[in-house]
Structure 1
C-alpha cells in the first residue's frame, strides 16, 4: 500500500537549500518525490492536525508558525498569514482534536499555546511562564533557556524539554493556558532534546549533550523522577556525537535514536522498562536529524547529505541494517505522515 508524507527542511535563510514543504510517497520500499506542495522559508518541523485537513509548519529562522489547508496529497494552501511565535521556533504539537497548538522556541526558550480556530487557523497564543534554570548560581552569567519539544502525555498533560536549562516541565492545560505542575531537573550538561512516552507511563528522554537515554517514572501523585540512564554504546561519545530524534517501535519494545556525527541509528531494547543497547546501524548519510518508522522500514532524514534513506528492519533484532532505497531531498529535517482520507 502506498503511503504519503510531508517533508520539511531548511531553506537558505536557515543554511539549507529547501524550497519549502514537499510531498513524498513510499511504495514497496521505494520513495518518490511528488513535488513542492507549498513554498515556505525553512519549515523545519511539521505537525498534522488529527481531525482537520490542516498542517502546521515551524518557520524557524523567521520565528513564525504557518497553517496550511490540505488541498490534495501534493498541494497545500496558506491558511491566513504566518503568526509570530518566538526566536527559532523549532517544534510543534497539536494537543488533541480540540486542543491548542503547542510551539517550542529554541532561541528564546518560549513555550506557547495557540488556540486553533474551527477552520484550523491560529488565534493569539497564550505564553507559558519562562523557565527558571535549576542550576543557576548567583553572580554567574545566566544560561539561556532552549525549549525544544512538547509532547501530549496519556494523562492529557503536556511535557516540554528545555535543552539549555537541562530540565523538563510538566504542564496542566487549563482553558487553553499552560499551568506549571512540575519542573524536572536532570544533570547539568545533559541537554534534553526529545522524548517519547511508553504505554506503561515511563518517559524516555534523549539527551543531546549527554548522549544518553534517561527514563522517568511518575509516582502515585503524578510526580516524575529519574529511574535510569543508559548510554548509547561504546562508539558514541558525549560532546562529539549528538543524538537527535528518539522514537518508540509500534510494538513498544524498542527505542530508536538517530545520532548526528556518528552517522548511525542506535536501537535499544526495553528490559522491564530499562533500555539496553541492542546495536546500531549506519544511517547511510550525514546528520540524521529525524526519522519515522513505516511498517518494517525506517525513513531517515539525513539533513547534511540531502537524502531520505529507506532502511529495512531486521525481524530478529530490529536493526535498520538493510538499505532499500534513497531519495534526494534538499536539507530534510522532518518527515510527517499524511493522514489517510485527506
Structure 2
C-alpha cells in the first residue's frame, strides 16, 4: 500500500526552487512525486491537525502562517487567508486547541486559536526572551526561537537558539505563562528537541553539535544531566545538527547533521544517549528526516532530493539506500495523517 506525505520547501523568496507544497508517496521503498498540492511561498514547515483534514504551513519568508483544507489525497485548498506571524517563522506545533509558531528572525512565539473547522484566529504573543548571558551596558544577542513542543504533561517547551536557552510554559486561556528558564552553555544554539516517554528530554544543539539530556526533578523542573557528542568527525562550527527524532521503538535517537551530510544514530542506555554510528545521507544539507516503519526519509535541501533508506534491524543505522527522488529544495516531510 502506498503511503502519502506532504513535502514543504524553500521557494525563490527563500533562495530555493520549490513551487510550494507537494505530495509524495512511498511503496515498498520506491518514492513517487504525486504532484503539486498547492502553490505557496517557502512553506518550510508543515504540520497536520490530529483530527481534522487540515494542514498548516509556516510561510517562512513571508512571515505568515497558512491553513489548508486537505481535499482527497493529493490536493489542498486555502482555509481562510494566511495570518501574520513574526520574521522567518520556521516551526509550528499543535496543542489541539491552538497552533504555536516559532519565529527565527525576531524570536517571537505566537499562539493562534483554532476554530472548530481548524481555521486560524489572530494570535497572542508570548513574553520575549531575555539573553541570560547579557552584560550590563552591552547590547544583548538576538533571540532566535526555533521550536515549540507539547510535552506529555500538557506543558510546552520552546527553544531559543540565539539565547542558548529553553523555556517551559503553561498554556492558559490562549496565553503562555512562563514556568522555568533552562539556561544551557553560551554558544550551544539549541534547535530541536524530543521528549522520551520516561520523561527525559533530548536537545540537539546546532552550534555545539551535541545532544543534551534534560531530566525533570520532583517539582517538575528540568536539569541538564548529560551531553553526548555526535562523533569525532562532527565539528562545532563546521557541522550543524538539524532535525532530531526518537525512533518508534523509543530506544534510539536520529540526528541529521548538515555540512557533514550524515544521519547520526544514538542509542539510549538508562536514558542517556550513547553514540552508535552514522551513515551518509547521499545528498547535501539534510534539513529534515522522518521514520516510516523500518525505513527513513531524508530531505536533502541543497541537493534537491528526498532519499529513502532501510534501517538496519540491529543498530538502526540507515545504511541501505532504497530510492532517491528529485524534489526541489525540500525542508520538511510530514505524513498525510497525523500519527
TM tier relative to shorter chain? over 0.9
Residue 139 of structure 1 aligns to a residue in which SS?
Answer: coil
Contact 2:201 2:213 survives alignment (8 Å): yes
Quote the residue 2:273 is aligned against.
275
Q: Quick one: which of 235, 255, 266 aligns to 2:233?
A: 235
The answer on whether the counterparts of 2:50 and 2:338 sit within 8 Å (CA) in structure 1 is: no
Task: Report how far residue 155 of structure 1 moved.
Answer: 0.2
1:64 corresponds to? 64
- Whether 1:82 aligns to 2:63 is no
Give the CA deviation at 1:201: 0.4
Which residue number in structure 2 is paired with residue 257 of structure 1?
Answer: 255
CA distance in 1, matches of 2:274, 2:87: 37
Counterpart-to-counterpart distance in 2, 1:265 and 1:245: 10
Give the alignment's Cα RMSD to 1 decimal: 0.9
Structure 1 counterpart SS, 2:302: helix
Q: CA deviation at 1:141?
A: 2.0
Question: Per the alignment, do residues 250 and 114 of structure 1 end up closer, same or farther by CA in structure 2, a change over 3 Å counting?
Answer: same
* C-alpha distance in 2 between matches for 1:212 and 1:107: 23
Corresponding residue for 1:132? 130
Give distance in 1, aligned partners of 2:85 and 2:276: 40
Question: Where in structure 2 are the equivalents of 1:263-342 lying within 5 Å?
Answer: 263-339=261-337
Match of 1:6?
6
Find the counterpart in structure 1 of residue 177 from structure 2. 179
When normalised by structure 1's length, the TM-score is 0.98
- In structure 1, the gaps of 5 or more residues are none
- Name which of 82, 100, 109 aligns with 1:111: 109
Of residues 92, 100, 103 in structure 2, which corresponds to 1:102? 100
Cα deviation for residue 340 of structure 1 reads 7.6
2:49–2:338: 8 Å Cα contact kept in structure 1? no
| Mapping for residues 170-249 of structure 1, pairs under 5 Å | 170-249=168-247
* Counterpart mapping for 1:12-31 below 5 A: 12-31=12-31
Structure 1 distance, partners of 2:140, 2:180, is 21
Quick check: 1:142 aligned with 2:140? yes
Residue 150 of structure 2 aligns with which residue?
152
1:43 aligns with 2:43: yes
Structure 2 residue 85 is matched with structure 1 residue 93: no
TM-score of the pair, normalised by structure 2: 0.99
Residues 139-165 of structure 1: CA distance to partner in whole angstroms, max 9, x if unpaired? 222100000001000000010000000
After superposing on structure 2, the runs of 4+ consecutive aligned residues of structure 1 that deviate more than 2 Å are none
C-alpha separation in 1, matches of 2:29 and 2:312: 14
Q: Take 1:93 and 1:3, find their aligned partners in 2: how far apart are those partners?
A: 23
Render the CA deviation track for 1:59-90: whole Å, top value 9, x for unaligned: 00000000000011110001111000100000
* Structure 2 segments unaligned to the other structure (5+ residues): none
CA distance in 2, matches of 1:262, 1:33: 27
Quote the Cα distance in structure 2 between the aligned partners of 1:37 and 1:27. Answer: 19
In 1, distance between residues paired with 2:309 and 2:136? 49
**Alpha-carbon distance in 2 for matches of 1:20, 1:215:** 36
Are 2:41 and 1:34 aligned?
Answer: no
Q: Deviations over 1:36-76 (max 9, x none)?
A: 00000000000110011101000000000000000111100
